[in-house]
A and B are shown apart, each in its own frame.
Chain A
């Protein structure tokens, strides 16, 4: 399949989305709700591009648009830039104090003195849904997008401390705007209205996860209680072992 992006021809695979094709070829299309493993949400709308399909032009969101042979894509036409600026403005109106969004606004020259901007607003979540996707993928499903319209938000059932949350912070990891409040203090982690005891690494002694998260992954992978070792120590261990085995053979 041949697809022209910004004037250059690329080979596409059947079933691939425009975003995937662009990424493979190092063409950057701005996006906020798209991440490897969590594709195809189409929430943030930042990834819109203009396509010409047999003479008809239309605007599509590249993260969900399956490519078609012969289409011509423009990722940065004047029209796209104009609309994308407005999308960033809309995000800024929601989260005027968020660094990720503020730097996007700067990059796109969006007027940050817009008269409808309420600078006192504390909101950081842009409802990209990635945290929910991550939690779903783990199988814990502790959080979800609730309500509709302007009252939509990410939440645990009834905003209570979630029974299902294991405190793994995968949601925090994927959040593009650092919107999820997490507090690690004195061997305890508070997240989604719940407090967990943290586990310290048996090698370096650093707190690195919760008991619940450790048990959940152990149970899931069906392994006997492993040593409580953090990821960075684990990596070090492995490379040490690797070096040793290398030494022994040669």
Chain B
């Protein structure tokens, strides 16, 4: 085997590290050292490949072999079989659930084929701690271009013409934000990167900061140069230790190489970056709360009638963008506005990273062109629903996003289409739900999350969410009344209209959309005292349909309380008095004979 340009990339993102990928990495290096190979292949630790659930991930280049769920026990075989003899280890290959076969290169998987990487372009391919790796992939070329060939206006023109919209939630046009800030002649000005990533389940920003920190740095310096700012802050979520570490190392290395600090690569332009550790609350991702937190104050939002491009950090003009937004800047400068605009759809240029989680077969980070259909995301990339159960809904936009039912499966994933149907893009979290999700309980769950995460500053958000939570809890316990539905909608209107910041303004979304698309579920809970998903235990009972039951006895075997009795090959019966409603029989019955019923009004003794 020729090892002269061989590379072995070991994923060392947070997900894979949790599954001991660093041990795999060190063991691989040791093993190779002990093995007599004329030219040693290069072993690199990279950032997240977006398939954490199947990690640790090891990729071998240029052969393009990818191994999944690799453990230290596999290292000997990888070196001896694959590196020395070019043999492929079957059991470590990727299994494509769509094509129902194993693949040598994961790039052939449906999961990957539909993707197009711009902001994630380097992740998994470079060692985030080596600036040389970044430079090798055209890193800091865009910076060189702006510093020596472009004026502020030209830079802003390109960003504006590209149609880039902020990836942090609201989709505000980035170019126009920069232009407004550029116009204020009030110095100093500041640049801020929002790395708070509060949406549960979203991890694209973390992956970028961990796996390709230089692209964020480069984007921020370009903006600094364009609007004449010399100082930037990276506000990084409290829990993101590895992101902070990699970011700091990248900043130090960029300084050493002259890309950051004074007189950047001989251009006379100075720019410095500082990392600020997040305040640890969801609301700190909101721009004004974030800035208050950087200033050392309590992370409470303020009214934004005067925008932060005019008066932001310490009341000075400030540009705040999301991590993914920053990662798009260098490629746009290098490849031009036209190129970026050619990807995606009208008014929604480029790609968006989604973190696909929930009841889909393939979960992970995916970057697709804007305008990709929801169906494609769930069924092609996601491989469909686990155990091929019925698809019920997806939730986008984080805790205050909305639920989208199957009627809208063909919706285009872009800022405008999502908000048109009452949901939102948010940071790109996508949670897939099957028929075992109760939509009332889901709404209740989000209200609980938001009642804890509201900063508590304003009456409507603090007290409004609290009472909505109380009403929803009652409904899930079977104590709701029909008029509660109207009440929820009435309160929603007040909360979204009168709250101070985006958290309160969007908080009612999960309730509004579940009532809009799944009103019968509310009615089932209230009138029929029944939770069809079997989630609200007070409104759930299980029974066995005689005609379907084949008497295999599997349910009885799985029942933890021995509530099921019956003779082999004859219909079984559940004793409601003993049943603890765990649902084990329901999920394990091979014929679907176990059914969900509503409240048992009176049980016979």
Give the B interface residue count (CB, 8 A).
Answer: 32
Q: Is the CB of A149 within 8 A of B451?
A: yes
Given A45-B500, A87-B494, check contact A148 B456 (CB 8 Å).
yes
Q: Which of A136-187 contact B (CB under 8 A)?
A: 145, 147-152
B511: which A residues are within 8 A, CB to CB? none
Q: Which of B507-527 contact A (CB under 8 A)?
A: none
The chain B residue with its CB closest to the CB of A91 is B459
Cα separation A82 to B199 with both chains bound (whole Å): 32
From B463, B470, B490, B500, name the one whose CB has the most chain A CB atoms within 10 angstroms.
Answer: B463
A151: which B residues are within 8 A, CB to CB? 456
Q: Is the CB of B494 within 8 A of A86?
A: yes
Q: Is the CB of A43 within 8 A of B305?
A: no
Q: Is B454 engaged at the interface, CB distance under 8 Å to the other chain?
A: yes
Q: Is A131 engaged at the interface, CB distance under 8 Å to the other chain?
A: no
Q: Is B362 engaged at the interface, CB distance under 8 Å to the other chain?
A: no
Q: What distance in Å separates the Cβ of A185 from its nearest Cβ neighbour in chain B? A: 33
Q: What distance in Å separates the Cβ of A103 from its nearest Cβ neighbour in chain B? A: 17
Given A86-B490, A87-B459, A93-B467, check contact A48 B498 (CB 8 Å).
yes
Cα separation A156 to B498 with both chains bound (whole Å): 30
Q: Which of B281, B305, B463, B499 contacts A91 (CB 8 A)?
A: B463
Q: Is the CB of B462 within 8 A of A127?
A: yes
Q: Is B545 engaged at the interface, CB distance under 8 Å to the other chain?
A: no
From A43, A46, A91, A151, name the one whose CB has the most chain B CB atoms within 10 angstroms.
Answer: A43
Q: Is A83 engaged at the interface, CB distance under 8 Å to the other chain?
A: yes
Q: What distance in Å separates the Cβ of A59 from its nearest Cβ neighbour in chain B? A: 5
Cα separation A83 to B457 with both chains bound (whole Å): 18
Q: Which of B459-491 contact A (CB under 8 A)?
A: 459-460, 462-464, 466-467, 470-471, 490-491
Given A48-B498, A65-B305, A93-B467, check contact A149 B456 (CB 8 Å).
yes
Q: Is the CB of A152 within 8 A of B305?
A: no
Given A83-B493, A90-B467, check contact A64 B455 (CB 8 Å).
no
Q: Is A124 engaged at the interface, CB distance under 8 Å to the other chain?
A: no
Q: Is B453 engaged at the interface, CB distance under 8 Å to the other chain?
A: yes
Mark each residue of chain A from 82 to 100: 1 if its CB lies under 8 Å from any CB of chain B, else 0.
0100110011011000000
Cα separation A61 to B459 with both chains bound (whole Å): 12
Given A42-B500, A61-B500, A148-B281, check contact A66 B490 (CB 8 Å).
no
Q: What distance in Å separates the Cβ of B106 from its nearest Cβ neighbour in chain A? A: 42
Q: Is the CB of B467 within 8 A of A83?
A: no
Q: Is the CB of B498 within 8 A of A150?
A: no
Cα separation A145 to B297 with both chains bound (whole Å): 12
Cα separation A87 to B460 with both chains bound (whole Å): 6
Q: Is the CB of A150 within 8 A of B466?
A: yes
B456: which A residues are within 8 A, CB to CB? 127, 145, 147-152
Q: Is the CB of A90 within 8 A of B459?
A: yes
Q: What distance in Å separates the Cβ of B310 from its nearest Cβ neighbour in chain A? A: 11
Q: Is B283 engaged at the interface, CB distance under 8 Å to the other chain?
A: yes
Q: Which of B84-135 contact A (CB under 8 A)?
A: none
Q: Which of A229-247 contact B (CB under 8 A)?
A: none
Q: Is the CB of A59 within 8 A of B497?
A: yes
Q: Is the CB of A60 within 8 A of B305?
A: yes
Mark each residue of chain A from 105 to 145: 1 if its CB lies under 8 Å from any CB of chain B, else 0.
00000000000100000000011000000000000000001
Cα separation A28 to B278 with both chains bound (whole Å): 41
A150: which B residues are within 8 A, CB to CB? 451-452, 454, 456, 462-463, 466
Q: Which of B294-343 contact A (CB under 8 A)?
A: 298, 302-303, 305-306
From A43, A90, A116, A126, name the one whose CB has the most chain B CB atoms within 10 angstroms.
Answer: A90
A60: which B residues are within 8 A, CB to CB? 305
Q: Is B265 engaged at the interface, CB distance under 8 Å to the other chain?
A: no
Q: Is A213 engaged at the interface, CB distance under 8 Å to the other chain?
A: no
Q: Is B161 engaged at the interface, CB distance under 8 Å to the other chain?
A: no
Q: Is B345 engaged at the interface, CB distance under 8 Å to the other chain?
A: no
Q: Is A44 engaged at the interface, CB distance under 8 Å to the other chain?
A: yes
Given A83-B493, A148-B281, A150-B466, check contact A126 B459 (CB 8 Å).
yes
5 extra interface residue pairs, beta carbon distance < 8 Å, beyond A65-B303, A90-B464, A148-B281:
A60-B305, A65-B305, A127-B457, A127-B459, A149-B452
23 contacts between A and B (CB under 8 A): A42-B457, A43-B457, A43-B458, A65-B305, A66-B306, A83-B497, A90-B464, A93-B463, A93-B467, A94-B463, A116-B467, A127-B456, A127-B462, A145-B456, A148-B281, A148-B455, A149-B452, A149-B453, A149-B454, A149-B455, A149-B456, A150-B463, A152-B457
